[in-house]
Structure 1
Amino acid sequence: MVNTTRPHQLRTFVVVAEERHFTRAAARLRIAQPAVSQHIRKLERLLGQPLFERNARSVRLTRAGEMFLPHAQAALRAVEIGYAEVAAVSGGLRGALHVGVVDAVEPLGVPSLLARFHRRHPDVTLSVRQAGSEDLLELVRSGTIDVAFLSFGDTATSPGVAVRWLQSSERVVVVVPPDHALAERGELRFADIAQEALVTLREGTGNRSMVDRAFTDLGTHPRIVCDVSGIADVIDLVAEGIGICLLPESVAANAKRRIVAIPLVDPVMWRHLGLVWRSPEAVSSLARAFVSFTESL
C-alpha cells in the first residue's frame, strides 16, 4: 500500500478535507474536478475504506478519513522537509514554508516581513494560516506548520517548541462603546470592570487565555456574553453595545472612531508577541532560515 500511494493523491485528499468541497479543491489544486475524484477513488481503493461522505453540496470526512488525515498531512510535510533539506545542501532554499499568524499582529509588519523573505529566497513558497494561539502551538508541535507568530498574555513557555519573544509587546486597554458609563474615565482598575458584560475571542486564543487568567487572579469569573472567532467581530459587538472587551492598544487605536479605549492601570496588562518553532532537534532548514531572518524583530 505504501509503495503504490502517490504524494499527489495524499495532497488531493488533504485539500479536499480542508475545503470540504471537490470543486473548490480542484480550483486550489489547479486540476480538473474529475482528476480530484479519481485521486480520491484510487486512495479509497488502496485503503479499503471510504474517506468522505458525499452529498450534492459538500463532503465531509468519514471516521476513517478523520483517522487518516493527520498521517497524510505528516507524510506530505516529511516530503516537503526532505526537498528543502536537499536543496539547502546544494546551496539554495526551496520548498514550502508554512507560517501561522494570530489575528491583529500589525506591530510586527508580517506581510512586509514575508515579502522580504520571499525576495531573498524566491524558490520558497509561503503558505500562511491564521488561527488562535493555542491552535497554532499545536500545529507547530505536530509539524503541520513550521513557525508561528503568537500572542501571549504572559511569558509562559510551552513544551516541544522554542520561543523567541519579540520587541513589540504592548499594553492591553479596556474597550467600551461611546455611550457606556465608563467611557469618560481616564483610567480603569480591573475591579471596575469585574462585573461588566464581556465580549471575548473564543477559547484557544491568546486574548481569551489572558482574560481568563486575569479573572482567575482576581478570584472571580468573567461574565462573558459573547465569544467570537475574530477581533473585528469583537469590535463590532462592543460598538453595538453588547458588552466591553480587553484588547491590545494598537488594535483599539485602529477602531477609535467607533469605540473608546481606556488604559488599564491596576493591574497593567501586556500582550506579548512571540515567534515559535519546533524544538531545535526537530526544526527544518527552512524554518531555521526564517527564524534567523527574523532576528532583527
Structure 2
Amino acid sequence: MSKPALPDARSGGRFDWNLLRTFLVIVQERSISAAAAKLHLTQSAVSQALKRLEDQLERRLIERHNSAFTITAAGEEVRRAAEAIHGNVSQLLTDVSQTEAEAVGRVHLLVASRIHSAVYDEFWADFHREYPRIEVQLDVLPSSEIVTLVQQRAATAGIALCRQIPKRLENKVFLQQRYALFCGRNHALFGRHDVRMDELLGENFVSFASDALGDSLSPLTIFRDQRGFNGRIVAASSQHDEVKRLLIAGFGIGCLPEHSVRADIEQGRLWRLPPGEGVCAVELHLLWHRDAQRTPAEMAFLKHFRDFIDGYSMTERLASRDGGA
C-alpha cells in the first residue's frame, strides 16, 4: 500500500493540523470515548474529526469492530508523521519562547566616569547586534554610589572603582588604570621638563569628589599624604571630563588615568608631571549582586560582557579608538 500523502500547503488546499493531534490522542488512548474525555470534547466531535482526516487523506486509518481497535498500515504511517510534526512544533514553541525571553528586556547599568576603552565601545556594538531588542539604560555615578546601589540590587550591574569587594557582590576586573599627575596649559608648570617633586608639594589640587571624601580613589589621598603635599583641594567633581576641564583651566594639579588623556597631552591641553612611575594603579570592576533575581536580558548582558572582554588582554582593553596603546 502506498503511503498516505499529507496535503501540501503549497497546493492551496486547507488542512486542519488539529486533526492530527486528535488522531494522535485517539491512537494513544485506543478509544474514541477515552480520547474525547482527554480532549474535553464529545465523542461525536472526535469521531467527526477522525472521519474528516480519513476523507482528506483518502485512507482508512482505524478499523473498529465491536470492542476491537486496530490501526491500519496507513494509520501507522500517519501516526509516525503526526508524532514528528507534533515534536517539531513543540520544539519550535520552546525555542521561540526562549529566544524571546533572551532577546527582549531591559538592562540597567551604572558606570563610573569615564570609561575610556575601544574594547568597551566595541562590546556595546557587539551586544546590540546580538540582542537588538534589549533596552539599555546607562547612568553615570561616582564609584561609591555605584557600589552601594548594586548592593541594594537597584541595578543590573555596575562598572566602578572598588578596592575592596563588599560581601555578596561578584566582580570581574575590567580595566587596570594607572593614575598620574597632570597640570593644564593655563598652569605655571605647563611645558616644564625640569619639574621636581618638591616643587609640587605646595600646589593646589583638582580632585575627584570621591577622592576628597576618601572613598574609592583613596589611594590618591594616601599618595598625597605620604609625599607630604600640603596644597588645598580647590576644585572637585565626580565627572572625569569636568576634572580635566578644571585642570586645563589652571585651577591646580590633579590625577587622571594616563590612558584616558593621551590625546589631550598630544594636543597640548595637559602636561604630565612627576613622579615618572605615576601615582597609583586602580582597578575598574564589573560588579553584580550574587543573590539578585535576574531577567533573561540581564543574564544575557552579564554573560556577554564577561565572555567578550575575556577575548582581550588588559593592554588591548586600555587601547584608544585609533589603536594606540
Per the shorter chain, which TM-score range? 0.5 to 0.7
Separation of aligned partners in 1, 2:150 and 2:255: 27
**Residues 9-46 of structure 1 deviation map (CA, whole Å, 9 limit, x = unaligned):** xxxxxxxxxxxxxxxxxxxxxxxxxxxxxxxxxxxxxx
Give the deviation of 1:90 after TM superposition.
7.0
Name the structure 1 match of 2:126.
Answer: 116
Equivalences for residues 65-214 of structure 1 within 5 A: 92-107=102-117, 109-152=119-162, 155-166=163-174, 168-178=175-185, 179-181=187-189, 183-185=191-193, 193-203=200-210, 208-214=217-223
Deviation string, structure 1 residues 231-277 (Cα, Å, up to 9, x no partner): 22222222222101110012222322212123534665113221111
Per the normalisation by structure 1, the TM-score is 0.59
Q: Deviations over 1:73-132 (max 9, x none)?
A: xxxxxxxxxxxxxx7597634211101111121125434322321221223111111111
Percent identity of paired positions between Structure 1 and Structure 2: 18
**CA, structure 1 residues 240+220, in 2 after alignment: closer, same or farther (shift >3 Å)?**
closer
**Contact kept? 2:112, 2:160, Cα under 8 Å:** yes
Distance 1:141 1:231 in 2: 24
- Whether contact under 8 Å (1:102, 1:132) holds in the other structure is yes
Cα distance 1:198–1:133, how it changes in 2: closer, same or farther (>3 A)? same
Task: Call closer, same or farther: CA 1:259–1:267 in 2, change over 3 Å.
Answer: closer
Among candidates 235, 239, 252, match of residue 226 of structure 1? 235
Larger Rg: 2
Q: Is the 8 A contact 1:175 1:238 kept in 2?
A: yes
Partners of 1:218 and 1:177 in 2: CA distance: 21
Question: Do the aligned partners of residues 187 and 229 (structure 1) sit closer, same or farther apart at CA in structure 2, a change above 3 Å counting?
Answer: same
Match of 2:285 among 268, 274, 284: 274
Does the residue aligned with 1:241 lie in a helix, a strand or coil? coil
In 2, are the aligned partners of 1:104 and 1:231 still within 8 Å (CA)? yes
The answer to whether structure 1 residue 244 and structure 2 residue 260 are counterparts is no
Alpha-carbon contact 1:99-1:126 (below 8 Å) kept: yes
**CA distance 1:177–1:207, change in 2 (3 Å):** farther
Question: Distance between the aligned counterparts of 2:132 and 2:229, measured in 1?
Answer: 52
- Matched ranges for 1:23-102 at <5 A: 92-102=102-112
How far did 1:199 drift? 0.5
Structure 1 unmatched ranges of 5 or more: 1-86
Select between 130-139 and 268-277 the one with higher mean Cα deviation. 268-277
| Structure 1 residues 274 and 170: alpha-carbon distance in aligned structure 2, compared to 1, 3 A threshold | same
SS in 1 for 2:275: strand
2:128 match: secondary structure: helix
